[in-house]
Structure formats: C-alpha cells, structure tokens
Amino acid sequence: MIPENDIIALFKAPAVAMKAERLLRKAALDCRLIPAPREVAAGCSMALRCPAAQLSTMIRELNRLQLTPRAMYRKSASGYQPVTPSAEGEYHDPVSG
C-alpha cells in the first residue's frame, strides 16, 4: 500500500525511471521504484515513489537533471491527485504544457 500523501512520478520509459531513481538516491532522496498503480497507468509501467516531505527537493532535482516526469500524483484518501504546475510551482507537465 502506498501511504497517503506519498508522491509517485511516471516517466516516459522504464530506463528513464531507473535513471531517475539512481540519481535521486545519489541526491539522498528516499525514493524507490514500484509497479505503477493501475489508476494512473495502463499496462506494466514502473513508477518512482517518494515521501511527501521530499516533494519539492524531488521536483528541483528532476528539473535540474532534465528528467521531467510524464506525470506526477499525490496519494490521497480518495485516490491519486495529479500534482499540477499551479500547485507546486516548479513542476511543468510536458503533456498539458
């Protein structure tokens, strides 16, 4: 079970998710790869999970590394809420602009 408030990020390919995990761990983030929950991804994708407290560091590092996620979500009691640029300021979703 993914704890409430945890963040999950989806990337355009599994190897990119792998790269993101490796580099974020090097930056001392407590993140790990998990199977993407079916609510946010069809098929057999991987997602990178991070504790809520590290969200802003995660976004900053991913931007710095130019590893922009395809999408990001926050787990809530009612499901996965998209993390939007307006809510977090720095995260730019390449799909929705």
Taking the least distance from each CB to other proteins, the nearer of 34 and 40 is 34
CB of 76 to other proteins, least distance (A): 22
9: phi then psi, degrees, rounded to nearest 5 = -120, 140
Taking residue 22's Cβ as centre, other Cβ atoms within 10 Å add up to 12
- What is the maximum alpha-carbon separation in the chain? 33
CB of 70 to other proteins, least distance (A): 10
Q: Which residues contact 66 (CB under 8 A, 6 or more apart)?
A: none
Q: Which is nearer to other proteins, 8 or 59 (CB)?
A: 8
Q: Which residues bind other proteins (CB under 8 A)?
A: 12-16, 18-19, 21-22, 32-36, 42-46
